[in-house]
């Protein structure tokens, strides 16, 4: 079999990138014209850049990646960690409810969960590093941050795990009231055992969620 020509090689490099750009434009609702404006280039130059492949103007392709909220590596090679749950269900899926004790066992002592808070213009769901403390969820955030609900605010907190390979997983949901921990002795005790927030920065506000209801579900196959 004859080797590929240089033109074929350009096409092999180019086509996956063109496909990723088209898919990402669709996700963001961007036209080609809007993308070229974001990338600070003319539509004709954008088309020429896509026709010639990544070796023609790496700097221009970097601007296209940034305009699509992607890294240069993600544009060239695709995203390494797609959202979970893309495979279909298992052969015999079984949905079961978890007891409250099983829910707390799934939560463990700490991890990353999502808190849902009633903000404007609509509810926000935000990831936080949490610690389980005396039957409550505790996390740190910044003053004025969306993850800092007002004292007495009703909130939800959710943690889940998904196994894409086996099409199974679990989810735990807590609903309750949020308050702020201001006692220095409590803060000192929690600071000694709580994990540092991944987001870093000044996270001096301690939030406690006292759950009124704890529910959970698991999906498995048999």
pLDDT one-digit tens code per residue, 39-92: 999 999 999 888 887 777 888 899 999 999 888 888 888 877 677 787 888 888
Q: What is the pLDDT of residue 40?
A: 92
Of 81, 83, 85, 82, nearest to 219 (Cα)?
A: 85
Calculate what percentage of the chain has a pLDDT beyond 90.
56
Could you write out the DSSP letters of every residue in 140-165? EE-TT-TT-PPTT-EEEEEEEEEETT
Please tell me the predicted confidence (pLDDT) of residue 10. Answer: 47
Query: Token pair for residue 130?
Result: 């949490």
* pLDDT of residue 149 exceeding 70: yes
Q: What is the architecture, at CATH level 2, of domain 93-221?
A: Roll (2.30)
Residue 175 pLDDT more than 50? yes
Q: What is the pLDDT of residue 82?
A: 72
> Which DSSP string do the residues of 85-119 spell out, in sequence order?
--S---SSEEEEEEPHHHHHHHH-SEEEEEEEE--
Helix (H) or strand (E) run with residue 217 in it:
strand 205-221
Residue ranges of the chain assigned to CATH 1.10.260.40 = 6-77
pLDDT of residue 109: 94
Question: Class of the 6-77 domain?
Answer: mainly alpha
Token pair for 151: 């004292």
Q: Using CA atoms in the order 163, 164, 168, 173, what is the torsion angle rounded to 10 degrees? A: 70
pTM > 0.75: no
Instruction: Please state whether beta strands 136-141 and 93-98 pair in parallel, antiparallel, or not at all (unpaired).
Output: unpaired
Residue 98 near residue 217, CB atoms below 8 Å: yes
Residue 172 CA to residue 82 CA, distance in Å, equals 22
What DSSP assignment string belongs to 17-67?
HHHHHHHHHHHHT--HHHHHHHTTS-HHHHHHHHHH-TTT-HHHHHHHHHH
Q: Which residue has the higher pLDDT, 114 or 1?
A: 114
Domain with CATH 2.30.110.10 in the chain: 93-221
Phi, psi of 145 (to 5 degrees): -70, 150
Q: What is the pLDDT of residues 95-130, one digit of tens each?
A: 999 999 999 999 999 999 999 998 888 889 999 999
């Amino acid at each position: 079999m004859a080797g590929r020509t240089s033109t074929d090689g350009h096409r092999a490099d180019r086509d996956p990138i063109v496909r990723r750009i088209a898919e990402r434009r669709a996700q963001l609702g961007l036209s080609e014209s809007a993308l070229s404006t974001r990338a600070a280039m003319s539509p004709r130059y954008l088309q020429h850049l896509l026709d010639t492949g990544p070796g023609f103007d790496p700097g221009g392709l970097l601007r296209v990646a940034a305009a699509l909220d992607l890294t240069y590596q993600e544009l060239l090679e695709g995203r390494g960690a797609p959202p979970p749950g893309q495979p279909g269900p298992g052969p015999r899926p079984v949905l079961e409810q978890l007891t409250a004790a099983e829910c707390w066992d799934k939560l463990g002592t700490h991890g990353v969960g999502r808190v849902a808070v009633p903000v404007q213009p609509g509810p926000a769901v935000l990831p936080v590093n949490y610690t389980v403390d005396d039957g409550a969820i505790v996390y740190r955030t910044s003053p004025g941050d969306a993850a800092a609900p007002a004292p007495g605010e009703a909130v939800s907190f959710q943690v889940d795990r998904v196994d894409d390979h086996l099409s199974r997983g679990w989810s735990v949901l807590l609903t309750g009231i949020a308050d702020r921990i201001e006692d220095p002795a409590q803060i000192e005790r929690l600071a000694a055992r709580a994990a540092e927030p991944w987001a870093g920065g000044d996270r001096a506000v301690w939030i406690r969620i006292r759950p009124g209801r704890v529910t959970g579900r698991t999906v498995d196959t048999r």
